[in-house]
Amino acid sequence: MDFSNKLVKWYQINKRDLPWRNTTNAYHIWLSEIILQQTRVEQGLPYYLAFIQAFPTVERLAKAKEDKVLKLWQGLGYYSRARNLHYTAKDIVKNHDGKFPKNYQKLVQLKGIGSYTAAAISSFAFHLPYAVVDGNVIRVLSRVFGIDTPFDSTAGKKQFQQLAQHLLIEQEAAVYNQAIMEFGALQCKPKSPNCTFCPMQEFCEAYNSNKIDELPIRSKKVKVKKRYLHFLMIHSDKGICIGKRDTGIWKGLYEFPFLEFPDSIPDSQVIESDDWQNIFGGYNLEIKSVSSNFTHQLSHQKIHAKFWEIKINNFSVKGFEKINREDIVKYPVSRLMEKYLNTINAD
């Protein structure tokens, strides 16, 4: 267990002072873990502090309106995390007397809590011997032990989980888990890891076989879909039209009506399209402006968007409500919408 002991020693010297590391409060730990999924610590920390301030207990989070939860989450992306967070808070209050189960198997049954988060809560809050396996852990184990099994394969997931559990210092599960994640975040980084001053250098397979840039291995290449959206900021009767999305990655967020096309097309073709005519046919309207192209990269799609500012009298869109233009800041919107609104607010 030379690796494990060196890891803990490294952590004691190099660890960052983060608020969720100074508590065994399961609610605070759960909140931090959900926020930090797909999110860097520097970005996630202000959100964690804002959530703790707004919802200091799981009961307060459970009672909150979904719009408020999503508004606080705005800008973090992967909004299903926020929706699951809210759902699970209500579940814990209703079915678990407001207390997180002190049992890994029960934790993993809660919505939005997978094996990694359940292991984190189990070890950090309840000192139970469960090893965490996230992207940082996979990278460290793959490089140090020379594992070339694709981590996203069934065999790979099993191999990494078994090795992580084997290396765990059971009496110090919380410290060990924090240590290996911190080591991946600060030392064994995805790009330009600090191999020159690494305590694992002597027995690191990737370092000694010059495979640092090759490991870990992913088998499935993520296919990115291109989407071309035209959002319509419609001014009518001193209000603008927005609606709450009920499906997709932005479910629960508010947005303008939009048109989608399979390819990038000129603005003139947008106006001539059947989709445009289905909304505006027969009405006199004024196109006040058309934005430049906004690109927004998501894990499985790249969005190319334009925003049309349109003025039209006595008009409404089915499924959308009218709000005062200045009130839009109160509504949770996607990062893409936020980027556009920031440009027009700055004018």
- Computed over every residue of the chain, the mean pLDDT equals 94
Structure tokens at 331: 């509504």
The three-class DSSP label of residue 94 is helix
Using alpha carbons only, how large is the chain's radius of gyration in Å?
Answer: 24
Strand, coil or helix: 221? coil
140-188 confidence digits (pLDDT tens): 999 999 999 999 999 999 999 999 999 999 999 999 999 999 999 999 9
Distance CA 235, CA 3 (A): 63
Whole-number Å distance between alpha carbons of 22 and 345 = 40
- Residue 165 has which token pair? 């559990």
Tokens 């520097």, located at residue: 42
* Of 244, 245, 226, 224, residue with least CA distance to 305: 226
Tokens matching residue 36: 């930090």
**pLDDT tens track for 81-134:** 999 999 999 999 999 999 999 999 999 999 999 999 999 999 999 999 999 999
Average pLDDT for residues 243-253, to the nearest whole number? 92
Contact 61, 85 (CB under 8 A): yes
First to last CA, the chain: 60
The closest alpha carbon to 254, from 68, 117, 96, 101, belongs to 68
The Cα 342–Cα 347 span in angstroms is: 9
pLDDT band of residue 259 (cuts 50, 70, 90) is: very high
- Categorise residue 146: left if φ over 0, alpha if ψ from -120 to 50, beta otherwise: left
Question: From CA 316, how far away is CA 218, in angstroms rounded?
Answer: 48
Rounded to 5 degrees, φ, ψ at 273 are -70, 155
Can you tell me the distance from the alpha carbon of 335 to that of 70, in angstroms, rounded to the nearest whole number? 12
- Are 36 and 28 in contact by the 8 Å Cβ rule? The answer is no
Distance (Å, rounded) from C-alpha 214 to C-alpha 236?
56
pLDDT beyond 60 at 273 = yes
pLDDT at 72 over 60: yes
pLDDT of residue 1: 60
Neighbours of 97 (CB within 10 A): 7
- Which domains, and CATH codes, for the chain? 2-208 (1.10.340.30), 225-346 (3.90.79.10)
Q: How far apart are CA 275 and CA 289, in angstroms?
A: 19
Rounded Cα distance between 215 and 138, Å, is 9
For residue 167 the two structure tokens come to: 């290396």
Q: How many CB atoms lie within 10 A of CB 314?
A: 7
Q: How far apart (Å, rounded) are the C-alpha atoms in residues 120 and 211?
A: 30
What DSSP designation does 250 have? T
Q: What are phi and psi of 104, to 5 degrees?
A: -60, -45
Residue 242 backbone dihedrals phi, psi, to 5 degrees: -135, 155
**Percent of the chain predicted with pLDDT > 70:** 99
Confidence of residue 281 (pLDDT cuts 50, 70, 90): confident
- In whole angstroms, give the CA distance from residue 257 to residue 63: 30
The pLDDT, as a whole number, for residue 298 is 86
59 catalytically annotated: no
From 33, 182, 255, 309, active-site residue: 33
pLDDT of residue 249: 86
Question: In the block, which residue shows the tokens 């998501």?
Answer: 298
Counting other chains too, the contacts that 160-165 makes at CB distance below 8 Å and 24 or more residues apart are 160/133, 161/115, 161/131, 161/133, 164/131, 164/132, 164/133, 164/137, 165/130, 165/131
